[in-house]
Amino acid sequence: MTTIVLVRKNSNVVVAGDGQVSMGNTVVKSTASKVRKIEKRNVVAGFAGSTADALTLFERLEAKLEKHAGNLSRAAVELAKDWRTDKYLRRLEALMAIGDKENSYIISGTGDVLEPEGDVIGIGSGGNYALAAGKVLMETDMSAEDVAKKAIEVASEICVFTNNNIKVEKI
């Protein structure tokens, strides 16, 4: 369980995530990093699900971006296809929020590649809380990074599977 928020504002794209790793009702780690920047392709991504699954999917996303010359739309669709049809990958129950300068997507293991309306995406156990907070904060003068951080903070006050140890990646 985790909370990830992706914010697009004033030509900036930011993904932020909390640091809590839980097993059942027990907090195992509070400083995990569930967000990543793919420097070479100027893409940021956040993951809600298990750590091993996250690493596998991040690697697959990076390979798809390389194969499709940095075209995030194409890479997202190809990753979703693999995720749904691959015997090993289809067992992963997770969500990814990914974005570059032009596009933002939610990718799921059921083959969904969603391009949400608006400039805020929230996924994970506290995703809806972060999404609601982010939408309200977008109307302020806050930067994209500040909106993302504050949205995670709000979620951490409501969702027991979210903490306020926030990691941020931006492009």
Backbone angles phi and psi of 50, in degrees to 5: -75, 155
Two structure tokens written together for 37: 């920047």
Q: What are 158's two structure tokens?
A: 């409501």
Active-site hit among 2, 56, 110, 140: 2
Q: Write the burial class of residue 139 (CB in 10 Å: 0-12 exposed, 13-18 middle, 19+ buried).
A: exposed
* Residue 51 annotated in active site: no
Please identify every residue annotated as catalytic.
2
